[in-house]
Chains A and B, each alone.
Chain A
């Protein structure tokens, strides 16, 4: 079975969850013996791991009448133009490549997938990692919505990363429930998980790690911190990452009078991330709307207890994480206080959480995708 995938990000040059998920899923699927994956990227850098799949750079495909087209490989201002160019590349690949099925990741590649389907006659499945509803909190961009909608209408099957996203696709995009499935994301196993240890510290550490932007609910983290600090000392709060709301958060912490217990270390990379997570007593993801959210799983991999919002897709598959509504600052503060106060709660979440996450494998997600491929091809 050969699958032609259209993607936008791939490690090591990732900008967000899409790259992580693309890698994890393809790695997991590659373990199936009779599956070959060809993955199209706008602008590969040459240092991607191609041991388990074949990468084609869209920028190295000769398009008749245009030559090889330049792509930024990021999310530039002329993103819609790049989407169109990507579609042009797809029209060439549809004829030159040999494949049984087309698999498009996220809205940027849907037009490419649709064109490839039209020209090759092969079926198309699209993978919804996020919708514009999540990104814009209901205030959708009509052009993007149009592209998403068309992709979903033309697809033979739609895969979503959570039931939450699936509901959005059915309700807000008018899709038939029979055509939409959920394939939950997973997390790449951390080979050296045991090398990340918790260093003894005087104060407990409560961490937020991610883009400091509206969708991630950073203000709820800061407010909860204030409530905890009103009742107890010996706790410090860390907001790692960067984003358009960072300055506002620094301001908020100052206004609430907790700036002395609040730290903003900026964007973290590589091992720094796991080291911070392993050292933390709690990791909080108060996302307003998270299609899945791989980061809590990464925290649990190194034994860090997590508090996640009910409005995130990963809450659907986790038992050993504390779930609250993102706006319920009292509940978040209550959970932080309890984890910090009762070692047994920390221990239970840490140990059982790690165990749970180690059983959430991309291989299983890959099998679900394969089952969908088989179903679509049988028709």
Chain B
């Protein structure tokens, strides 16, 4: 039996306010809350809420045979709590059906996996905690930022407990192989890889409403036929996209919600089932894949070049991640909050000269200047806590000494207590 695995990614980009250089060192609040609120409300009302309500209907009407997954970042969950609690309610309902999976994803949708393993671990752990707290679910599947994957980051993910990694069915990795099968990592045969079906997913996202686009099904019947005609040994067809496909990229009048709703009828009729990523990954892997260089679902190259390809981006990332250790030592809540927000991959996306998504800046240079001003202030705050004049190693050794002394003092105190007790007797 073939299975369809749907996964909907949700992330609201962090919106920085206009921050000019004279404010560096003076004003430590970096966000445009009004823009963020409006953006969140618009996305939720136009897309996410109708989508989730439709999915809940589909689960009910298909008598729980419809299943799907969500990749929601921690920062987005926080925003939803604040601005769209009605969506949280629907998500909770979806969680309770037992037909959904909330996969793991870095808390603020950062590129930490490519720059600092301990930060990556910390972000994934934070998101796991948030999802568990809100929905009571857990997962062993990871949707790394922009479906990023390479052998090394995959191994790190496995150590953190993520036996399954979702990534892109990129041609340069698959060549002639099909994305509709379960693969395993060439480094660790116990780690499973699920690959997005690019053609179907992008076809639906970008071309659903275009009747001239032949490769994309335009109604549920067509989709079911297409799936039924796939080779027998295709195990799972992964249709993953940004949740905004439903309602924003493909507005409601294109009929995309009706299309979605009809899928279970047509699919089940053709003996095509639904599955969540973790369930799909239980199947035996057909072969192993080697991915030495980072791949993602972004841009033409399906790598990280959209986000790290130019000088400006590299400079920003380098300056940002240089203070990772110090930030980890800090306890200041605001600082930690800013640290997460500043890692949002969208900041880098807006610094791309040609492909910059829904940038709220005039140009890549504008984005760079604004971000670097904010970063300059942030770095000053970090410096106040842990001056960068002391090298990282020296700092670590000093801190270790302090910790050892603390331990010793605690032990001595205990000894003193014991001796006093003995004396009393």
| Any B CB within 8 A of the CB of A230 | yes
* CB atoms of B21 and A231 under 8 A apart: yes
List A contacts of B391 (CB < 8 A). none
Contact B366 A330 (CB under 8 A): no
Residue numbers in A under 8 Å from B366 (CB-CB): 322
| Structural contact, A230 and B312, CB atoms closer than 8 A | no
CB pair B22 A227 closer than 8 Å: yes
Given contact pairs A319-B353, A319-B363, A337-B21, A348 touches B373 in the complex (Cβ within 8 A): no
Q: Quick check: is B369 within 8 A (CB to CB) of the other chain?
A: yes
> A323-B363, A334-B373, A349-B365 given as contacts; is B315 within 8 A of A342 (CB)?
yes
Chain B's nearest CB lies how many Å from the CB of A326? 14
Tell me the dominant secondary structure on chain B's binding face.
helix
Of the candidates A227, A319, A334, A352, which one forms a contact with B369 in the assembled complex, judged by CB atoms under 8 Å apart? A334
CB of B21 within 8 A of CB of A345, answer: no
Shortest Cβ gap from B57 to chain A (Å): 47
Instruction: Tell me how far the C-beta of B295 lies from the nearest C-beta in chain A, rounded to whole angstroms.
Output: 26
Give complex CA distance A344, B316 in Å. 10
- Any B CB within 8 A of the CB of A169: no
In chain B, what residue has the closest Cβ to A336?
B21
Q: Which of A341-364 contact B (CB under 8 A)?
A: 341-342, 344-345, 347-349, 352
- Check B20–A330 contact: CB distance below 8 A: yes
A334 touches B365 (CB 8 A): no
Q: Which of A313-328 contact B (CB under 8 A)?
A: 319-320, 322-323
Contact A231 B22 (CB under 8 A): yes
Cβ of B48 within 8 Å of any chain A Cβ, yes or no, is: no
- Interface: A300 (CB within 8 A): no
Taking a contact as CB atoms closer than 8 A, the residue among B310, B353, B372 that contacts A338 in the complex is: B372
Chain A residue at smallest Cβ distance from B310: A348
Question: How many residues belonging to A are interface residues under a CB distance threshold of 8 Å?
Answer: 22
Q: Check A334–B311 contact: CB distance below 8 A.
A: no
- A322-B365, A348-B310 are contacts. A338–B315 as well, Cβ < 8 Å? no
Does chain B have a CB within 8 A of A297? no
**Residue B362 is within 8 A (CB to CB) of chain A in the complex:** yes
Bound Cα distance from A348 to B351, whole angstroms: 12
A-B contact count (CB 8 A): 50
Which one, A322, A330, A348, contacts B312 given CB within 8 A? A348
Contacts of B20 in A (CB 8 A): 330-331, 333-334
Indicate whether A342 sits within 8 Å of B365 (C-beta atoms), given known contacts A319-B353, A337-B21.
Answer: no
Docked pose: A231 CA to B20 CA in angstroms: 11
**Closest residue on chain B to residue A344 by CB atoms:** B315
Chain B residues positioned under 8 Å from A341 (CB to CB) = 21, 372
> Is A155 in contact with chain B by the CB < 8 A criterion?
no
Q: Which residues of B contact A230 (CB under 8 A)?
A: 22
**In the complex the two chains form, what is the Cα distance from A84 to B251 in whole Å?**
61
Cβ B362 vs Cβ A323 within 8 A: yes
Residues of A within 8 A of B246 (CB): none
Q: Chain A at the B interface: mostly helix, strand, loop or mixed?
A: helix
**Among candidates A333, A337, A345, A347, residue contacting B365 with C-beta atoms closer than 8 Å:** A345
Contact with A along B309-323 (1 / 0, CB 8 A): 011101100000000
CA–CA, A143 and B365, complex, Å? 44
Question: Which parts of B355-369 form the interface with A (CB within 8 Å)?
Answer: 362-363, 365-366, 368-369
Q: Which residue of A lies closest to B354 (CB)?
A: A319
Given A319-B353, A348-B310, A348-B311; A334-B372 close (CB under 8 Å) = no
- The reply on A335 being an interface residue by CB < 8 A is yes
**Docked complex Cα distance between A83 and B239 (Å):** 71
Q: CA–CA, A54 to B369, complex, Å?
A: 50
| Residue numbers in A under 8 Å from B368 (CB-CB) | 338, 342, 345
- Let me know if B363 and A338 touch, CB within 8 A: no
Q: In the assembled complex, how far is the CB of residue A255 from the closest CB belonging to chain B, in whole angstroms?
A: 20
Expressed in whole angstroms, the Cα–Cα distance for A347 and B314 within the complex equals 13
Chain B residues near A231: list those with CB within 8 A: 21-22
The reply to whether B372 and A342 form a contact with Cβ atoms under 8 Å apart is: yes
Contact partners of A345 in chain B: CB under 8 A: 312, 365, 368-369
What CA separation (Å) do A319 and B364 show in the bound complex? 9
CB B317 to nearest CB in A, in angstroms, measures 11
A338–B369 touching, CB < 8 Å: yes
In the complex, A290→B368 CA distance in Å? 27
Collect the chain A residues with CB atoms within 8 Å of residue B312's CB: 344-345, 348
Shortest B350–chain A CB gap in Å is 14
Residues of A within 8 Å of B363, CB to CB, are 319, 322-323
Chain A residues whose C-beta falls within 8 Å of the C-beta of B21 in the assembled complex: 231, 333-334, 337-338, 341
Sample of 26 A–B contacts (CB below 8 Å)? A227-B22, A230-B22, A231-B21, A319-B353, A320-B353, A322-B363, A322-B365, A322-B366, A323-B363, A334-B21, A334-B369, A334-B373, A337-B21, A338-B369, A341-B21, A341-B372, A342-B315, A342-B372, A344-B311, A345-B312, A345-B365, A345-B368, A347-B311, A348-B311, A349-B365, A352-B353
Contacts A330-B20, A334-B21 supplied; 10 other A-B pairs, CB < 8 Å: A231-B22, A322-B363, A335-B365, A341-B21, A342-B372, A344-B315, A345-B312, A348-B311, A348-B365, A349-B365
Residues of B within 8 A of A (CB): 20-22, 310-312, 314-315, 353, 362-363, 365-366, 368-369, 372-373
In order of increasing CB-CB distance, the 9 nearest A-B pairs are A344-B315, A338-B369, A337-B21, A344-B311, A348-B311, A334-B20, A322-B365, A330-B20, A334-B21
